Amino acid sequence: MKVTFDDLSLKHITIDSIPRLKKLREIHFKTKPEICVEIPRLLTEFMKKEGIKPEHGISKVMSARRFKYILENKKAIIDDLNLLAGSTTTKIKGVPIYPQFMGQAIWPELETIHRRKKNPFGITKEEIDELNLNVFPYWMDGTVQEVCRSDYNNPRSLQIMERIVFFIASKVHVISHTIPDYEIVVKEGLGFLLKKIEKKEGEFYEAVRLVIEGVIAYANNLSKEAELRAQKTDDKERREELLKISKICKKVPKESSETLQEALQAIWICNIALHQEHTNIALSLGRLDQILYPFYKGITPREAIEQIGCFFLKLADHVPMNPETGEELFGGSGSNQAVTIGGITKDGNDASNDMTYLILKTIELLRVRDPNLNIRYHPDKNSKEYLKRLCEVNINTRATPCFHNDIPVIEALRNQGYSENDANDYSIVGCVEPVAGGRTFGHSGAILLNLAACLDMALFCGKHRLTEDEQIGPETTLPKDVKSFDEFLDVFKIQTRFLIDQSVEINNLLGKAHFKINPLPFLSVLTDGCIERGRDVLEGGARYNSSGVAIIGLSEVIDSLCAIKEFVFEKKGVSFEGLIDAIKKDWQGYEVLRQKIMNSRDKFGTQSELAKKITDNVLDFLHTEYQKRENYRGGKYTVGYWTMTMHAGLGVLTGALPSGRENKEVLPSGITPVSGSAPELLDVLSFMAKLDKRKIANGHALNLKFTPGENLLDNFIATIDAYFKIGGMQVQCNIIDRNTLIDMKNNPEKYDSLLVRVSGYTAYFQDLNIFMQDEIIKRAEYDLRRKE
Amino acid sequence: MIDWLLIPYYRIRRWLIKRGFIRALEAERIEAKFAEEFLEKLLNIMSLLFIIEPNFRKHIKDFFGTIEFRSKDYEIRVLATFKDNKLKIRELKPEEKLEDAPNAVIIFKNPIALMNFLLPKGGRRDILRSILNNEVVLQGNLNYIYRFSFIANHLQLALMKRSRLTFE
């Protein structure tokens, strides 16, 4: 029997009953992030020693030697309290810098970053000198972005991306957004993989040997350090712990794991190693309850939670680097490492087990933003008790987990060519993106396309109001000369197609530049398919290859298109010229028109047939266009609707829109309706459930906010169950009322770090920029406590 | 190495430039017409400090590159060349064509945009904000601009201390 607990909520276990976790949690919250220069120092040291200029590229073997050098020389850190050894950086909460990606973006503010308003980072004078004098100058021509620029003659697509408002191809900063195969690490160990390639020859396999040796060397260093620490401590209990840690690190990840602590340590060492290879944004963990369940034996639930808690707090030992404006407009996110639990097994049976509930309990106790918990729920296979427990955790934490419905997600993956077993075994990457963990290299956050910018260009003949008189897209028909709504929709599609082409081109060129200067041999070791094919993940080695697109501003654009159809072409209440004039003037002098538009019933997320028809049309268009294009690894582009905090930042750059939206207002998050435009919860859920999920293979983020209260649980359970039964794909809920959020914004000192759901991931409300805080406050709040 | 006999001259020149610079920092409103003058002033003081301050010079060790500053209408064009641990400034004519393209170009929308970029409040030079506000357009290798911005920030922070120039 896989679930043995009588009390699924494990009420007897509290944070006070696990003093180690309580203390580690306190340390986590009170520690301010500091910049760590270990990775850039070792990286640059190696390159200089070998006489390699980064812009000239690096072979797979040399890249593996570099990785090994970093891991052999990386400081072996054992915390005073944690049961796991090793850390991403040399700091308690570090900000790793990657000079081969976008590390240089903080060069201008190195001397002021410690006192910036939003999310300051500590840095010493020596570290400033190290970066300013030794590291950054060496990489000036050797970042992914600059290598792409020089190798491909400063392509127009790169220049358009650098205007930020149109789209972002995240490879300049990061790939991540994938799930390594941790199952093989704990079940077989890296030594097994070494043995597997014993007789294989060639550059790729040589690189694989080197990187595995590097990881084992780091584990051995940790083992030695733990032993040293054990010798030095007077605390008998801690000495025993340290000796155990030492023994474990000598064994894993080289060998297979036998205990939960070994499995967690093995995964953690590999995770650290991956962070030395490339930036971590949304490097996710996969189905941890399935991976770890075989190792839950011989210990109590309390001990298991203690170990899992130690691991989760380790995952939160670093935060991403962001320049100041980046923090102000787009910041607040952690590393967004998703953990997936529940759902069905590969062969289609209920997958929930004791580990599922242990992970839920740990999340409930810790309430940290990383990892980002995603649960799978199959309405026909999972129990109601399981759903009840999920809802309880959401109410107690106010913001987590994120709910995914197995039925449409699996259908969407099958439609992308996944086998039945692999689709059944999906996990979530980053925010909400489903992939077959360890088997897909999907870079699910490869492109973020601002759909509102496409609309702007359609309204202004290929120009954008932010970039003024610069002709960005094709010079399409003036709106005043457009004869019908369908004709305008074609214009919108011409501009969108143009930005799709540009975004795909730059993503593919950046992918090639990335491979030239930073192949990923260790990620390739941990991605199924690469070893069999003898190819790096960046060369298409993975079993499944894809690139993910996230569309920003969908509901605002649909509402705008509805308004154009209704008011310009049907009711003829205003000419197209008049509507353009109104948005140019930010509705000044057009308040009556704005009110009429705002009060229209044709809105995304309502019962409107028009809105539904236009949404289906746009979804189909985006899916079809992106799927037509191939990525640099020979895979497909999949489309999703999630926005992280980009909807806040891009909203500030977007002018008034025909939907009635005012200048600089935040765009709606994910696939959520515009705040206030869809007042009925049932309509929203029904609208979402009817969308064709096969065209949303990169996931969507529907954000809902519910008023907390005594009798919420039963209705909450019923709502999620009903939504999933009618075909809803995903939903995530903040259980918090508007007044609390407003008070929190005005008096942050009164509150402990409060978790909120942003658009796919959780964040601390205080860390979010003011636009994002306002967006969450403004989100429609539904009251499930009402009696019908 | 500079001739030691020139040191008093450089000191006086530095003092004059510093005084003008600090006045600019203190000015509540900056006239648009002042922007071009200020750009040259900033680059000149930088250039001078690279000669006389070893601690400042270290920031351009092995820095070889050119950055062009220009207005959208080409009316203001200044080329900054970093070479051999020195910075050379050259005013360019609107129609002048360069033999080698600069490593980076900073195109500012208007003089106020240039001032916001060169002289941000509190020494916080924020390139991303300038781009987002469409005040400047950057072309070419962004890392050259990041490096220049660090040096400009460093200079501004040092001058804002008001005491003697210390470039530690």
CB contact under 8 A, A140 and B62: no
Contact B147, B63 (CB under 8 A): yes
Dihedral sign for Cα atoms in the order A223, A229, A232, A233: negative
Chain A CB contacts of B157 below 8 Å: 111-112
Residue A663 CA, chain-centre distance (Å), reads 28
Q: To the nearest whole angstrom, how far is the Cα of B5 from the nearest Cα of chain A? A: 31
Instruction: Please report where in the chains the tokens 């309204």 appear, as a residue.
Output: A459
Q: Does A139 touch chain B (CB under 8 A)?
A: yes
Q: How many angstroms separate the CA atoms of A192 and A512, rounded?
A: 31
Q: Does A463 touch chain B (CB under 8 A)?
A: no
A194 neighbors A210 (Cβ within 8 angstroms): no
Burial of residue A11 (number of CB atoms within 10 Å: 0-12, 13-18, 19+)? exposed
- Is residue A43 classed as helix, strand or coil in its secondary structure? helix
Q: Which two tokens mark A46?
A: 């190696």
Least Cα separation, residue A13 to chain B (angstroms)? 47
Asked if A322 is an interface residue toward chain B (Cβ–Cβ < 8 A), one would say no
Please indicate if any CB of chain A lies within 8 Å of the CB of B14: no
The pLDDT of residue B167: 39
Q: Please report, as a single letter, which amino acid is at residue B142.
A: L
In chain A, which residues have their Cβ closer than 8 Å to the Cβ of B147? 104, 107, 136-137, 140
Nearest-by-Cβ selection for B132 from A111, A154, A653 = A653
A112: nearest CA partner in chain B: B124
Give me the domains of chain B, ranges plus CATH numbers. 30-167 (3.30.1050.10)
* Yes or no, beta carbons of A105 and B141 under 8 Å apart: no
pLDDT of residue B34: 66
A53: distance to nearest CA of chain B, Å?
A: 14
With beta carbons less than 8 A apart as the criterion, state whether A654 and A538 touch.
no
DSSP A277-299: HS--SSB--EEHHHHHGGG--SS
Query: Side chain identity at A505, as an amino acid letter?
Result: E
Which residue on chain A is closest to B137 by alpha carbon?
Answer: A163
Distance from CA of A134 to the nearest CA of B (A): 10
- The token pair at B77 is 């064009």
Question: Which of A104, A115, A133, A158 is the best mutation test for B, with the most CBs of B within 10 A?
Answer: A104
How far apart, in whole angstroms, are the C-alpha atoms of residue A23 and residue A314? 13
What is the per-residue pLDDT for A489?
A: 98
- Residue B96: how many CB atoms within 10 A of its CB? 11
Q: Is A124 on the interface with B (CB under 8 A)?
A: no
Which pLDDT band, with edges at 50, 70 and 90, does B168 fall under?
Answer: very low
Question: Beta A440-441 vs A544-552: how paired, if at all?
Answer: parallel
- Of all residues in chain B, the one with the smallest CA distance to A328 is B129
Q: b vs e for A592-606, b when ≥16 Cβ sit within 10 Å of the residue's Cβ?
A: ebbebbbebebbbbb
Chain A hits for B60, CB-CB cut-off 8 Å, are none
Contacts of B124 in chain A (CB under 8 A): 109, 112, 116, 324
- Whether chain B has a CB inside 8 Å of the CB on A53: the answer is no
What the block records as the tokens of A518 is 């930073």
Query: Do A204 and A536 contact (CB within 8 A), yes or no?
Result: yes
Instruction: Give pLDDT, residue B164.
Output: 40
Of A107, A149, A466, which has the smallest distance from its Cβ to B146's Cβ?
A107
All residues of chain B having their beta carbon less than 8 Å from the beta carbon of residue A323 are 126-128
Give the span between the Cα atoms of A37 and A479, in whole angstroms: 53
Crossing angle of helices A301-315 and A260-277, rounded to 10°: 10
Torsion, Cα A442 A446 A450 A451, to 10 degrees, reads: -30
What secondary structure does DSSP assign to A323-369, as a single string? -HHHHHHH-------EEEEESB-TTSSB---HHHHHHHHHHHHH--S
C-beta atoms of A137 and B147 within 8 A: yes
In the block, tokens 């509901």 appear at A555
Q: Quick check: A323 and B125 CB within 8 A?
A: no
Predicted confidence at residue B165, as pLDDT, reads 39
- Cβ atoms B142, A145 nearer than 8 A: yes
Q: Of A104, A165, A324, which is closest to B143 when you measure between CB atoms?
A: A104
Neighbours of B97 (CB within 10 A): 7
Q: What number of other Cβ atoms are within 10 A of residue A490's Cβ?
A: 14
Residue A239 CB neighbour total at 10 angstroms: 15
**What's the rounded Cα separation, in Å, for the pair A33 and A598?**
43
Q: Which two tokens stand for residue A88?
A: 């991403």
Across the interface, do B126 and A107 touch by the CB < 8 Å criterion? no
For B149, the closest of A108, A125, A163 (CB atoms) is A108
List the single residue in A with minimal CA-CA distance to B103.
A141
3-class state of residue A102 by DSSP? coil
Q: How many CB atoms lie within 10 A of CB A58?
A: 22
Look at residues A323, A307, A210 and name the one whose alpha carbon lies nearest to residue A265: A307
Task: Report whether pLDDT(B24) > 60.
Answer: no
Q: Which of A116, A324, A467 has its CB closest to that of B134?
A: A467
Is the Cβ pair B141, A140 closer than 8 Å? yes
* β-strand partners of A641: A700
Q: What is the mean pLDDT of each run of 10 residues along chain A (788 residues)?
A: 92 98 96 97 98 97 98 97 98 96 93 87 96 97 97 97 93 88 98 96 97 98 98 97 98 98 98 95 96 98 98 95 76 84 98 98 95 97 98 96 98 98 97 97 96 98 94 97 97 98 98 97 98 97 97 98 98 95 98 97 98 98 98 97 90 95 94 94 98 98 92 94 98 94 89 81 84 87 74
pLDDT for the residue B75: 84
A718 contacts chain B (CB < 8 A): no
Tell me whether residues B58 and A133 touch, CB distance under 8 A: yes
Question: Is the separation of the CB atoms in B152 and B39 below 8 Å?
Answer: no
φ and ψ at A217, to 5 degrees?
A: -60, -40
Terminal-residue alpha carbon distance, chain A: 39
pLDDT tens-digit profile of B93-118?
A: 989 999 999 999 999 888 778 877 77
How far is the alpha carbon of B7 from chain A, nearest alpha carbon, in Å?
Answer: 27
Digit-coded pLDDT (tens) for B51-74? 777 888 899 888 999 999 998 888
Residue B73's Cβ-count burial label (10 Å; 0-12, 13-18, 19+) is: exposed
Q: How far is it, in rounded angstroms, from Cα A184 to Cα A320? A: 28
A164 touches chain B (CB under 8 A): yes
Pairing of strands B86-91, A781-782: unpaired
Q: Does B70 touch chain A (CB under 8 A)?
A: no
| Rounded CA separation A493/A751 (Å) | 46
CB contact under 8 A, A143 and B122: no
Our CA dihedral for A457, A460, A466, A469, rounded to 10 degrees, sits at 120
3-state helix, strand, coil in chain B (%, to 5): 50, 20, 30
B151's enclosing H/E stretch is helix B142-160
CB atoms within 10 A of CB A724: 26
Candidates A112, A131, A330: best to mutate against B (most CBs of B within 10 A) is A112
Which helix H or strand E contains A191, and what residues bound it? helix A190-196
User: Apex CA A319: angle with CA A52 and CA A326, to 5°?
Assistant: 85
**How far is Cα A512 from Cα A85, in angstroms, rounded to an integer?**
35
Confidence of residue B163 (pLDDT cuts 50, 70, 90): very low
* Amino acid type, B139: Q
